[in-house]
């Protein structure tokens, strides 16, 4: 286990990603301090009492909301690294409660940036989403704004040399609210599978892949990059077939703000791509100037088509079955 004499803070640390990421950190690193920052006291209490976290002397739990800048300033004192995972994420909820998503996802992101600058944090990695690419819903639009804020924040760091970077990926397989748990629940209760549209596709990434991507970005980011994984897609119909091929499917129509296919790289971003092996890095001209000597050594590439879940390599039904069996 590698000893790291640093303090890391995770906003939204009691969520699906946050709790899994903290388990990963505890297993692989010996951080000086790991701070879980979230607004839900019940989830914090439950997390404290889980066997994986119970009695860990380097764990700290900090109750607060990213909307509260003064609370963030206090939480970020003597913190070296921040992984920003706190967000409101449900697409339909965003359509009906837009200002709440603006307050958390946009204003909250700016609060993170300012508190990090005030406390001389070394690195901030923000979690984004494929829905931020050519957004068709309010949630995606707020995350696009947040991404722009974090990229531009590198121009504010001055002599502090704080690095702000972004990781962008799709829905995590079997995460809370995703399609696999919904279908499994429908099968358990002997209900029809409900699918909004037969053409629907999504990108496929496991929680461990997402965690390793964040871990890689935290180690390697130069500031201003948007890191995108090279991953497969799946068809929602194939998920249903993998779980129960004989079960009846009911098509219910697209929800407000929902896309048929998601994108990870837009057409406008294809001119700024660099190849990092397992990942792409989107590096705008402004960021390129800030780290020119480093990026000149990387391989700039041009992809031939928009990187979306509908024109990508698909998982087979058997591959999906293997993933489901591991859940």
Catalytic site residue 43? no
Exposure on the CB side of residue 111, measured as CA atoms within 13 A: 23
- Under 8 Å CB-to-CB from 50, ≥6 apart: which residues? none
Separation CA 84–CA 271 (nearest Å): 27
Could you tell me which of 128, 134, 90, 135 has the C-alpha nearest to residue 109? Answer: 128
Could you tell me which of 292, 240, 264 has the C-alpha nearest to residue 131? Answer: 264
Could you tell me which of 229, 226, 223 has the C-alpha nearest to residue 171? Answer: 229
Q: How many CB atoms lie under 10 A from the CB of residue 250?
A: 10
Given the residues 131, 143, 235, 259, select the one marked as catalytic.
Answer: 131
How buried is 24 (Cβ within 10 angstroms: 0-12 exposed, 13-18 middle, 19+ buried)? middle
Torsion sign across C-alpha atoms 287, 293, 298, 303: positive
- Under 8 Å CB-to-CB from 80, ≥6 apart: which residues? 6, 7, 8, 121, 122, 123
Residues that are catalytic = 131
């Amino acid at each position: 286990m590698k000893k790291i004499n640093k303090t890391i803070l995770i906003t939204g640390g009691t969520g699906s990603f946050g709790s899994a990421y903290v388990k990963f950190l505890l297993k692989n690193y010996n951080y000086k301090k790991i701070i879980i920052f979230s607004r839900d006291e019940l989830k914090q209490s439950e997390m404290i009492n889980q066997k994986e976290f119970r009695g860990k002397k380097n764990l700290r739990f900090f109750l607060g909301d990213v909307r509260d800048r003064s609370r963030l300033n206090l939480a970020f004192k003597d913190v070296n690294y921040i992984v920003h995972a706190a967000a409101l994420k449900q697409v339909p909820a965003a359509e009906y409660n837009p200002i709440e998503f603006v307050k958390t996802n946009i204003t909250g992101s700016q609060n993170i940036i300012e508190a990090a600058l005030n406390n001389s944090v070394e690195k901030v990695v923000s979690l984004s989403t494929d829905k931020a690419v050519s957004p068709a819903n309010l949630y995606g639009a707020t995350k696009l704004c947040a991404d722009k804020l974090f990229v531009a924040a590198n121009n504010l760091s001055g002599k502090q040399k704080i690095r702000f970077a972004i990781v962008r990926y799709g829905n995590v397989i079997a995460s809370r609210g995703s399609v696999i748990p919904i279908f499994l629940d429908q099968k358990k209760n002997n209900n029809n599978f409900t699918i909004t549209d037969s053409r629907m596709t999504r990108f496929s990434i496991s929680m461990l892949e997402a965690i390793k991507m964040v871990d890689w970005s935290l180690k390697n980011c130069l500031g201003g990059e948007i890191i995108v994984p090279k991953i497969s897609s799946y068809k929602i119909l194939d998920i249903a077939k993998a779980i129960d091929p004989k079960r009846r499917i009911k098509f219910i129509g697209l929800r407000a703000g929902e896309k048929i296919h998601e994108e990870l790289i837009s057409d406008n971003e294809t001119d700024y791509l660099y190849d990092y092996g397992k990942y792409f890095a989107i590096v705008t001209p402004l960021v390129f100037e800030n780290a020119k000597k480093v990026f000149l050594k990387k391989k700039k590439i041009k992809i031939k088509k928009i990187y979306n879940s509908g024109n990508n390599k698909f998982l087979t039904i058997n591959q999906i079955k293997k993933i489901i069996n591991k859940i």
